[in-house]
Amino acid sequence: MASRGTLYRGREGMWSWVAHRITGVAVFFFLFVHVLDTALVRVSADSYNLVIETYKTPIVNFMEVGLVAAVLYHALNGIRLILVDFWSKGPKYQRHMLWTILVIWLIVMVPGAYYMTIHTIEAMFGSAA
């Protein structure tokens, strides 16, 4: 008998659960670091300015895109979970709602990532014009 699904043996709902947990933890760690770097201003203004300068690097710019992607997915999937839990037809349509939020996520993230990184890409490789 052939196995169904992937190595995880889960279907879309289980993968969305895993992604929801991963994005939630990622957002938590961002918020933790953000509170720490903001608190640094009370310790030393020079140290705070040094940390803020490191945030202006291309790597951090791409990490910001990842953060936006995580927050957006987590928020959209959270809405889906609320509908699954509190709408009587939610469980029946949970798979359709998952694919809907993934399409919305892509529609928002593709142009969003472009506009968030265009200045960094131009600075790294030169302007296309």
Whether the per-residue pLDDT at 6 is higher than 80: the answer is no
CB neighbours (10 Å) of residue 88?
6
Burial class (CB within 10 angstroms; exposed 0-12, middle 13-18, buried 19+) of 97: buried
Q: How far apart are CA 29 and CA 90, in angstroms?
A: 31
pLDDT per position as a tens digit, 16-28 = 999 999 999 999 9
Q: From 3.40.50.150, 3.40.50.620, 3.40.50.2300, 1.20.1300.10, which CATH number describes the 13-120 domain?
A: 1.20.1300.10
pLDDT value at residue 127: 72
pLDDT per position as a tens digit, 54-106 = 998 999 999 999 999 999 999 999 999 999 999 999 989 999 999 999 999 99
- Ordered by start, the domain boundaries in the chain are 13-120
pLDDT per position as a tens digit, 37-56 = 999 989 999 999 999 999 98
